Structure formats: C-alpha cells, structure tokens
Amino acid sequence: MKLEETMHPVLRQRAEPERRVLPLWPERWCVLFGDRQRPLWLPPGGYRFQVRCLRYFISNPYKALYARVLLGVNALAPGAGVLPELRLPRAMRSLLSFELPVSGPWRAAIQIGTAGPYQKASVLLTSAQGEGLALAKVAMTQSADPMVRAEAKWLRELAGLRPLAGQVPRLVTEGATLSGRRYLVTTLAPGTGQSSALTAAHARFLEALGRARLDSQSFGSSPCFRYLDQTLAQLAACAPREALTALREALDDCVLHLAGWCGPFVIAQGDFAPWNIRVHRQGIFVFDWEYARTGANPLADVFNFLLMPRAVSGRAISIRFLAAAIRRAAALARQLYPEWSWRTRVVAALALAYLLEVIAHYCLANQCVDQADPVIRSYWRLMEERSAWMGTT
C-alpha cells in the first residue's frame, strides 16, 4: 500500500492553527515499510534508538531482522534513499498533538494502522534511550472515535476486576487531539515476547475473563444471538440479497444445532490473537480491547486465536484444520467451564457462530461483502461448507 494512501483520510481534514500542545512532533520522519500496510515512523538518525523501538511493534523475528538491516544500511548511507523520509503535514501535526501524562525527556515512534473506517495510529512514548514509557492510540478518522471511546470504557471496567490485575493495560488518560479525534494513553506490557501457542497462561486468562461476568442461558435468548441478528439486519443496506440469505441460513443452523443447549455467555476480548498478546514469566498481557463485549460466545476468543492468524495471512483453512481447532476448543471448554455440556455438535455450532460474527463485522466495516479480503474469503468458504465439518468433527 502506498504511503500516501494510508494518510489520505487525514489529509482531507482541515488543519487547525498550531498551538503549544505536547507532543511537539519533529517535522521529518524515517518511514519503515512505507510501501505496505501499517508503516512505522521513526525519528531520523539514532540507529540504536530505532532498533530498540522495533521490539514494541514487530514480533516476527524474520521481519525484525529485515527491519534492522534496512535501518542499518540507512544509517550508514542516509543519502542513498534506502528508507523514505516523510515531512509531517500540518493536518497530521494537529491530529497527533495531545496532552502527555508522561514527564520528559521523551521520544516517540508511530505506527499507522490499516487504512479504513477504523484506522488508528499507535504512538509509542519512550525515554531518550528508547525504553517504552506508555502507548497512545489515536483515532485517525471520525468513524474510529467510537472504537477509542469503547476501549477506554473497557479499560476502566477491567481495572476493577482483580483476577485480571497486571494482565491488561491501565488507562492513564483519554481525551481529544487538537483536530478533535479521540485518543487514549495506556501503560505498556511488562515484556515484548509473543507466542503463537495457546498455552496454560492463555487458558488461565480466558477463565478469569469469562467468569468475571457470566450468564447461563440458551443460545436463542442470549446476547450473542441478538448481536448476530441485529448485525445481519444492519448488513441489509450494503450486502446483496443472496449474501444476506446465506448468512441468515447459517444463523438458523446455529439455532438448530444449539436447540436444547444451555451454556455460559461471557466477556470476550473480541480480537484475542497473538499480535494483541505479550507473553512473560508471570503469564500473559492482553491489549486492544475496542471489540470487547459482554454476553459473547464463550469460545469466540479461542477460535479467533486458533483461526485468525491463518486467515489474515491468506493461507487456506482446510476442513481438517478447522476440525482440529474445534477439538482443541472443546477440550479447553471442558477445562474452563466443566459445569456445562460440550458435545462436539455444540462446539461446532459455536464455531459457526464465531465465523458469522467475524464475517458480519468485516462486511460492515467494508460496507460490502469483499471476497478479496482474505478473512472474509476464508471464513465465507468455511460457512458455505459447514455441512461437511459440522457433521464430521
């Protein structure tokens, strides 16, 4: 993706008069991965500082090595144009100007989120040596403001849940930038490690989160069903009739397969995936709470962790892979919530409910059924082929 495209929603905004509000950003930035989604802006110069910032944004060891090589070559030959430099537009300075709760001296690195209606910027506030102090999240479009508000609300609620102490960010402050966009500032994870494995620490976290606010009821009367029903109704304005019919039929199958079953409906983080989790000796630390919900599918976070990384990467999710994920989710459900029945038929129906929820969310965000999106394409195919895996898992 072109660097200009990621900034397009921002550049349309009217620039505000400059005021002395912290942070006062430098005019020029070194742009890493500027030709892809989620470009990373680093202050030019200071190779050691730039490399220290990488660990907060890039967890893949191969990508991190590639980034270090690019930064090293750029430091040795700054005039060679290895990495582009960006002059910060006045509109962007207004967007990224907000009161800082962290006393200086400090520096910053910025990652621009995926372009779209919910685009946000993540601003890492560091010491002069590159040690992380706090993380700010800034809405880059008006439609992203509710997401930032929702996350701030959830962080305030989670702060009162003692079993989750030290495992979620602490909200430091929130407010509006000079341009009126919402922002929040949170504490950082105690470590920068990441794992693609669903460990015992992940299970302990999900149990603490799920049991913090749990209601036992049938699927048809649950907030989970109502959310799906209402979301599909909202899709009527942007999805073809055939697509809506297919989604409704899949929801009907969920109701049919879960008839007579009563189970727990819980708090779900909503985007429980390796990139939103940091692993350390004491357990895990989970951030990005903008999609959290109460009364949610009790296995949605588990399925998201197992399936979403593969879908996002564009790799196909075979029926065999999904069947293995369903068996893994069933075993974990029996461990987390042994009071309820977790027959394979029930877990498979909850997997279908999870697929529907993600499809509906992506379609609403895109305002269409975009089969070019790797997540929609992969999950839609699984939904269409449900007769093959709901009866054989």
Q: pLDDT (tens digit, 9 = 90+) per residue, 8-57?
A: 443 443 333 333 344 556 778 899 997 677 899 998 878 999 999 998 99
Choose the final residue of a domain: 133, 152, 186.
186
Distance CA 101, CA 147 (A): 21
Residues 164 and 233 in one domain: no
Residues 292 and 383 in one domain: yes
Please write the tens of the pLDDT for every residue from 78-88. 878 889 888 87
Q: How far apart are the first and last CA of the chain?
A: 39
Mean pLDDT, range 339-361, rounded to an integer: 97
Residues 240 and 335 in one domain: yes
Please state the φ and ψ torsions of residue 15, each to the nearest 5 degrees.
-70, 135
- Indicate the pTM of the whole model: 0.90
Residues 233 and 285 in one domain: yes
Residues 87 and 204 in one domain: no
In a domain, 194, yes or no: no
Please write the tens of the pLDDT for every residue from 252-289. 999 999 999 999 999 999 999 999 999 988 899 999 99
Residues 51 and 127 in one domain: yes
Model confidence at 135: pLDDT above 90: yes
Distance CA 187, CA 136 (A): 9
**pLDDT at residue 202 in the model:** 97
CATH code, 369 = 3.90.1200.10
What contacts 216, CB < 8 A, 6 or more positions away? 262, 263, 264, 265, 340
pLDDT, the chain, mean: 89
Residues 261 and 123 in one domain: no
Residues 180 and 315 in one domain: no
Residues 180 and 244 in one domain: no
Residues 348 and 377 in one domain: yes
| Domain assignment of residue 234, given as a range | 200-390
Model confidence at 7: pLDDT above 70: no
Residues 77 and 152 in one domain: yes
Domain count, the chain: 2
Residues 129 and 28 in one domain: yes
Please write the tens of the pLDDT for every residue from 61-98. 888 999 999 999 999 988 788 898 888 777 777 778 77
**pLDDT at residue 23 in the model:** 54
